[in-house]
Amino acid sequence: MKKQFAINGMSCNHCVANVEKAINQLEGINKVKIDLKKNQGVVKFDETQVSADQIAAAVTAAGYETEVI
């Protein structure tokens, strides 16, 4: 499954790395692509192992506001 997320609060590539790291620590993540300029991310994942809500929670726990779009 592929979902797009709006991610607010990122200001630099270090922020992008923090978000990618937080998401990649979850089970079932296949690919993460974060776009700093658009404040968005696209995540491909195995929905039998992880949910979009769990991904959003990981981003929030890393210190950024997010929502599924």
Phi, psi of 13, deg, nearest 5: -65, -25
Q: What is the pTM of this model?
A: 0.94
The band of 63, judged by pLDDT with boundaries at 50, 70 and 90, is very high
Classify residue 43 by burial, with Cβ atoms within 10 Å: 0-12, 13-18, 19+.
buried
What CATH number did the domain enclosing 62 receive? 3.30.70.100
The pLDDT of residue 52 is: 97
CA 2 to chain centre: 11
> Are residues 22 and 61 in contact, defined by beta-carbon separation less than 8 angstroms?
yes
The pLDDT of residue 8 is: 97
Structural domains in the chain (count): 1
Residue range 1-52, pLDDT digits in tens: 999 999 999 999 999 999 999 999 999 999 999 999 999 999 999 999 999 9
Domain of 64, in residue numbers: 2-68
